[in-house]
Amino acid sequence: MSEDEVAVTGLGLVTAAGVGAAATWDGLLSGRSRAAPDPLLAGLPVGFSCRSDFDAGAALGRRAAARLDRFSAMAVAAAREAVADAGLDTTAWDPLRVAVVIGASTACMEHYDREFAWIADGRPERVSPMAIMRSIPNMAAGEVGLDLGARGPNLAVSTACASGASAVGVARDLVRAGSCDIAVAGGSESLRARSTAVGFHQMRALSVRGHDPEGASRPFDTDRDGFVLGEGAGLLVLERPAHARARGARPRALLRGYGASCDAHHTVAPHPDGRGAADALRVALADAGMTPGDIDHVNAHGTATRINDLTEFRALARVFRDPPPVTAPKGVLGHSAGGAGGIEAACCVLTLQHQLIPPTANLDNPDPAIPLDVVRKAPRRARLTAAVSNSFGFGGQNAVLVFSTS
């Protein structure tokens, strides 16, 4: 390992497929969507989501669950798993040398919905004094730092649906710069809120396949009609190689490159030819010292919206002469916005580690306008040495991570 590289020594996941990295991985391999009717969204134009069975009270205790917003609670649980997976002892590390960087966009609007209802009802005295501090986007990072006793740089990153991947990239830069020895990084978010569901529906971004929720998230399929609201947290432990070696840690993978760009095109729509996404991909490859031919797999952003899937294909086509095999985890997990980039970075690491590409759910009729080799129906065994994970967001935000086995 070069000291310019960063080791991924631990993973933690909370997703609609299950709590923990093992449960999430098994869910991805099943290729079955976790979308189902959601009582929280009952009566709305879109009343289903990909929700996690995460129980904050059982995982963190009743007092913590009462204090924390759901996105913060999921982040704390994922951080605990990631740190344990890395074999780290929080009582033995130097807390000033441990950073936390977590991405979020809306974070979670569920509590805001409840508190705003009191104001609308003419009873502002019922608004919780915790309302603001519980829901602001930096609280996931703050609560993880508090829980772990990590006193180094503590940052929130918000680049819409690229937030989790951007956070991993920023954390990588902190490790490389020597600002910390260890960074806990990724994303956490829950889109399961009534205001969020209505807002995205009004934008025509959500699937309206209410008669068949499990078949609603269809990345790269001809019949795709939008994404499915999701939730979850995905966190990675990043370390300087020398630090990992000194404690005998065996990396799951190496984070070799990070690229970021802005489309500077439109508030919501990506650049139609994928220019900005392609720029981020090229920057990430150059940062990793790799060429497109070195990449064996693409973990796609794959939202299942008509424009975004086509644009992502065009971005890949601008960089790769023949794009490598692709998967899109949002078919199974739904879209957790700011959490997605961290979750999918962890999924990308697991794909390399297991040398197995999970299938894309609900890809029954591949779109002929998107001639990619998208893995579907069943997992595919492959020889994988390097992979990229794509994340794109509103505002033209693009973030690409490059991982390798060595």
Question: Active-site positions?
Answer: 161, 301, 335
**Do 131 and 93 contact (CB within 8 A), yes or no?**
no
Which residues contact residue 28 at a Cβ distance below 8 angstroms, ignoring those fewer than 6 apart? 17, 329, 332, 333, 347, 350, 358
Nearest residue to 296 via CA among 406, 165, 388 = 388
Phi, psi of 337 (to 5 degrees): 50, -115
Strand partners, 100: 154, 184
Tell me the residue type at 256.
R
Read off the amino acid at residue 70.
Answer: R
Give residue for tokens 């986007």.
Answer: 137
- Residue 208's contacts (CB-CB under 8 Å, 6 or more residues apart) are 45, 46, 201, 225, 226
